[in-house]
Structure 1
Amino acid sequence: MPTLLHFLGLRVVVFLNDHRPAHVHVLGNGMEAVFNLACPDGPPQLRENYGFPQTALSKIASALTTELNLLCAKWRLIHGNY
C-alpha cells in the first residue's frame, strides 16, 4: 500500500488492489478513516470512520482538500480512471 502523504502524524494510503471510486485510507494512532476524493474537483467526503474524533476528521478533510490534485494524480497512476 503506497503512502501518498504524511501529515499530523498520519499516513494517507491507497491499496494497490482497491476499487473505485477514488478514495484514500487515513491511518494513525490505531484509527482509520476512508475518504472518497471526488476527483478531480472534490471536495473529499468522509465514507468511513474507525475511531477519529470529529475535530481530527475536520483537520484531515482540510488537509486532503489542500492536496487533492496530488492525491487524484497518484490515484490515477495506480488505478487508472477515477
Structure 2
Amino acid sequence: MSTALTIFGLRAVLYPNGHRPAHVHVIGNGCEAVFNLHCPNGPPELRENYAFSRKDVVKLADELAANLATLCDKWRQIHGHHE
C-alpha cells in the first residue's frame, strides 16, 4: 500500500496489487471510500463509500480532482497504463 496523497488528515492510497480501472482508496477516521480516477482527464467518481458523509465525499472528490495529475502519474508508476 502506497500513500499517494494526504487529504484533510486522511490517506489516499494505491495498492500495489490493485486492479484496473485506475482508482484510489481514501481511508481514515474509521471510514473508507473508493474513487475511480478516470485518468488522465477525470473527474474522479465515487465507486464505494463506507461511512463518509455526502458532504465529505464531495470535498474528497474535489480534492482528488485538484490532484488528479499526480494521482494518475503514481498509478502509472505502479501499474502501468490507466485503462
**TM, length-normalised to structure 1:** 0.99
- Partner of residue 2, structure 1: 2
The 3-state SS of whatever aligns with 1:20 is: coil
Q: Structure 1: which 4+ aligned runs deviate by more than 4 Å?
A: none
Instruction: List alignment gaps of at least 5 residues for structure 1.
Output: none
- Give the whole-Å Cα distance in 1 for the aligned partners of 2:30 and 2:15: 18
1:28 matched to which residue of 2? Answer: 28
Q: Which residue of 1 aligns with 2:65?
A: 65
Distance 2:34 2:42 in 1: 14
Q: Is the aligned partner of 1:45 residue 2:45?
A: yes
Partner of 1:78: 78
CA RMSD in angstroms, aligned pairs only: 0.4
Counterpart code for 2:56: A
Q: Which runs of 5+ in 2 are unaligned?
A: none
Counterpart residue identity of residue 33, structure 1: A
The separation in 2 between residues aligned to 1:54 and 1:76, in whole angstroms, is 29
Letter in 2 for 1:79: H
Identity %: 59
- Alpha-carbon distance between aligned partners in 2 of 1:7 and 1:64, rounded to the nearest angstrom: 8
Describe how 1:7-18 pairs up with structure 2 within 5 A. 7-18=7-18
| Cα drift, residue 7 of structure 1 | 1.5
Distance 2:40 2:60 in 1: 18
